[in-house]
Structure 1
Amino acid sequence: MELDNEQQVQQAVHALTDLLENGQDDDFMTEFMTLHDFEKGQVYASFSKNIREVAWRVMDDETLATVFDNLEGDAEEVVDLLQEVPPQKGANILVEMFADNEADLFQAMPARLASTYLALMPDREAQEIRNLIKYEDQTAGALMATEYLAVAAGSVVKDVLAQVKKQAEEAESIIYVYVVDEKHRLVGIVSLRDLLTHPDEMTIESITNTRVISVKAGDDQKEVAQVVADYNFFAIPVTDDDQHLLGIITVDDIVDVIDEEAVEEYSGLAAVDVSDTDDSPWHSALKRMPWFLALLVLGLISVALVASFEHTIRQAPILAAFIMVIAGIAGNAGTQSLALAVRHFGSSTDKSFWKNLISELLSSFVLAILAGVVLFGFVFLWQDNEGLALAVALSATVAILLSALLAYLVPAALRKVNLDPALVNGPLVQTVVDWAAILVYFGIATSMLNEFIGK
């Protein structure tokens, strides 16, 4: 039976721990280096603190950089692990890491700790980090790596291949080679395949693709991810406004962005941080409590709205039986429309806002008519009251359409004021839709009382 990843990691942790405890440092390094880079990060993080203190003394800076490049979890947690080693060794590890991962850690550090590491690093590397951490979080600049393959226009294939071999170990990706002019402006891209399949003496210009798809350093990471997904790139160059090549974003970072955005949107829709799967019950409850209490208070407003129609309910008590049905079906429709709206605003699409809105309203109209017909038939057969059946069916139809409209317009309004549409969460929308459904239901029922009272 094949072991899953977690079991394999735990087996490796136990075996490597035994080697360190028995003083078999060379055997430890031999076994550790057989692990995949991703597993190295997992295993190192799974060591006890005492074992990590032995492990980092055995490993060289380059190996530790690979470990820290592949550590999962929040950047703050990785910084805590980095602080277990002496400051100078920590600075050496940071220098050996890929620049984008290094920048993530610096952005997560307290200012004093970041200053300490920068002071211990060579001036050139320290300046590169200062240049990277100036970019806002969740932008292309904050995401990019500065280890890439760039060659001068005018080179020949043979010389470029020699450069690729020389720089390949340090570059984050060697799939693409970027051609730059004397001012380091991006003029084209050559794939590694093109280099390997053309004669050595051929000039690089003759095989360069000059139709460059790039992103700006200030572009939002969601837009960058969409471009990479649309074009199926393995990496995309990042430039400034004058087309100077600043760095590259590789597909593994894009996968992280897509996962991060998906978690963020799902967390918004659920009103809970779904990324914290390992939280203790108490900590999880504390974090969810503010929204929980807020929604409880908002729910009491629904009670007040129902109470305001006490006179109507007193005249036709049967109306109370359908409150939950009307509010529930409108809330479900609103949550579905909200999910589609957030998805639409979170990705590029050729459709205009109005075209998407009309499309969603048409879909909701079909569902609303279906719900109305089903409710009319059920109520009529149950109560043998055509007026009551019509009031309930009409209320459901209008409530569904109104909830779809609200769920689509609220994220649009947030986007207009430069706020993330994912800030609107499902429970909040469902509560607001409940209010609208209650008002619609009792408004229609009150106006049609004479149609079904006493029948």
Structure 2
Amino acid sequence: MANDSNTPDEITEDMRDEISEHAKKLVDNLEHGDEQAFLEGFDELHGYDQGQFYLNLPPQLRQQVIDWLSPKQLADVFDDIPLDDDDVDPDELLKEMSPQYASEMLDQMYSDNSVDLLEQLNAHDLRMYLSLMPVDDAKAIRELLNYDEDTAGSLMSHDYIGINQQLTIPEAMHAVKQAAKDAEQITYIYVMDDEDNLVGVVSLRSLMLADDNLMLQDIMDTNIIAVTPDEDQEQVAHLMADYNLTSLPVVENDKLLGIIMVDDIVDVIDEEATEDYSRLAGVNVDNNDENPLKSALTRLPWLIGLIFLGMGTASVIDSYDTVVAAAPVLAVFISLITGTAGNAGTQSLAVAVRRLAFKESASLWKMLVQEILIGFTIGVAAGITIFAVVAVWKHNLLLGLAVGLAMGIAILVANVAGAFIPIIMDAIGVDPAVASGPFISTLSDLTSVLIYFNIAELFIKVFGGIS
């Protein structure tokens, strides 16, 4: 029997084809001046697709869209445009509109998205757009713009629903319905006392299921999970993930300043992951600059630093030239031992950085014992393997034993170093992700060479030679 079901990839491809055909019709509507057909078709697109469609239009057709859409309608489109994308130039997009239209559109956007857009403008344009907004709205946006980047305050929005605890359930439902059209989310309703202090939170579900004879204060949850505006965005992301929240209140002196939405936290998680990966790799992976010279210049400082660190390894090898001269075959296995130990150290580093990033706590001694056991197990397995390979390949049990023992100890040391260097850096206030893969690998090279040649030298002295 034929299988009529589509795989997820096929479904995605079908959706893309459908959107593409729909977009062609919309472009045709624009070119032929069919406003009604365009507005009906444009409204059928998902918000993200509306944003992508708008961005991909040539300026003259975008101007037609601006003429046909109200500032509120275009604000909904801009709310779904990824403003952190390198291909998006907010300044250019805004200058295609009249200043009055642009300022009204910015005012109609959710405040967190409006702030994200405005902070990318120069000071002159920023002042111009704010001066054209209603005074109270401009003041609220200025307050958000004043918060430091990467803090809870810079992520929050003013578009929440807050109502008084003294309302009855029917009154609260009516208030929510009235405020919902301007709120970014209505999953949670924030409850205030007469002094406008945040005293509780109610989910929309709880509100809908509550007895009409009760008051809002009877059903609100007073165990409020909140953050202050200066809280680091990474801590905010962990908190929302831990408590499975779709929004999080930002509070100062019991006053609700705003809320942080889960869609902003998704962006934070992506940003933090990119930042950590960049440091682990020793390069900015988010840099899409196509200029080879500029890209090379951003990577060179780290690589030059590693060259000097690597010179330490070269110096160690040079200092053991008499050992290599006595047993030249030792040189064959240098890269094998250093490479394997470096890989083990990098694996341990990745686990340690993740543990620190997610604040997974464990006692230092417990971690030490755990990493020693892991390193010992891996080292023994790798050491036995290379012992057998070298013994059979070179028909030399002593050489195999020396190489195997050196590899096992080098892996153990690299594993413990990879786990504890980030912990030490975190303890002294340095970002542990800076203990990057290239750094750990180069450090492992140095320790591995020292271990290898000391063991080899010992074998030569005790057994009279291993060649």
The normalised TM-score by structure 1 is 0.92
The structure-2 alpha-carbon separation of the partners of 1:356 and 1:12, relative to structure 1 and needing over 3 Å to count, comes to: farther
- Uncovered stretches (5+) of structure 2, i.e. residues with no partner: 1-9
Does the aligned pair in 2 maintain the 1:75–1:108 contact within 8 Å? no
Are residues 332 and 107 of structure 1, via their aligned partners in 2, closer, same or farther at CA, if it must alter by over 3 Å? same
Alpha-carbon distance between aligned partners in 1 of 2:68 and 2:360, rounded to the nearest angstrom: 52
Shift of 1:337: 0.9
User: Which range is displaced more, 163-172 or 213-222?
Assistant: 213-222
Q: 1:300 to 1:258 in 2, by over 3 A?
A: same
Q: What displacement does 1:331 show?
A: 0.8
8 Å contact 2:279–2:436 — kept in the other structure? Answer: yes
Deviates more, 1:335-344 or 1:408-417: 408-417
Determine the C-alpha separation between the residues in 2 that align with 1:385 and 1:231. 60
Which amino acid in the other structure matches residue 70 of structure 1? D
2:198 is matched by which residue type in structure 1?
A: L
SS class of match (1:169): helix
- Report if aligned partners of 1:414, 1:421 keep a CA contact under 8 Å in 2: yes
Q: Is 1:385 aligned with 2:396?
A: yes
Post-superposition CA distance 1:49-106 (Å, at most 9, x none): 2221222222111111111111125267352323332322222121111111122223
Alignment equivalent of 1:448, drawn from 459, 462, 467: 459
Spell out the pairing of 1:208-247 with structure 2 (5 A cutoff). Answer: 208-240=220-252, 242-247=253-258
- Aligned AA for 1:360? E
Residue 69 of structure 2 is aligned with which of 59, 77, 85?
Answer: 59
Counterparts in 2 of 1:106-117, with a 5 A limit?
106-117=118-129
Q: Which of 92, 97, 105 is the equivalent residue of 1:93? A: 105
Which 4+ runs in 1 deviate beyond 6 A? none
Q: 2:81 aligns with which of 58, 71, 85?
A: 71
- The residue number in structure 2 matching 1:265 is 276
Find the aligned partners of 1:423 and 1:105 in 2 and give their Cα distance.
30
CA RMSD of aligned residues (A): 2.4
SS at match of 1:225: helix
CA deviation after TM superposition for structure 1 residue 329, in Å: 0.7
Q: Which residue is 1:134 aligned to?
A: 146
What letter corresponds to residue 55 of structure 2 in structure 1? A
381-390 or 65-74: bigger deviation:
381-390
Pick aligned residue for 1:199 from 200, 211, 214: 211
- Residue of structure 2 equivalent to 1:21: 31
State how many pairs are aligned: 453
Aligned to 1:338: 349
Query: 1-side partners of 2:364 and 2:258: how far apart?
Result: 34
Contact 1:71 1:78 in 2 (8 A): no
Q: Percent identity?
A: 37
Of 29-38 and 392-401, more deviation after overlay is shown by: 392-401
Q: Structure 1 regions of 5+ residues with no counterpart?
A: none
The 5 A counterparts of 1:123-202 are 123-202=135-214
Residue of structure 1 in register with 2:134 after alignment: 122
Task: Select the residue among 440, 444, 447 that pairs with 1:433.
Answer: 444
SS in 1 for 2:181: coil
- Counterpart secondary structure, 1:258: helix
**Paired letter, 1:23:** G
- Quote the offset at 1:288 in angstroms: 5.8
Relative distance call for 1:201 and 1:138 in structure 2 (3 A) is same
- Deviations 1:90-133 (Å, cap 9, x if unpaired)? 22121111111122223322223222222222211111112112
Going from structure 1 to structure 2, the CA distance change for 1:187 and 1:413 (only over 3 Å counts) comes to same
User: Which of 370, 374, 383 lines up with 1:363 in the alignment?
Assistant: 374
Equivalence for 1:49: 59
TM (normalized to structure 2)? Answer: 0.90
Contact 2:169 2:212 in 1 (8 A): yes
CA, structure 1 residues 189+183, in 2 after alignment: closer, same or farther (shift >3 Å)? same
* 2:332 is the counterpart of 1:321: yes
1:108 counterpart SS class:
coil
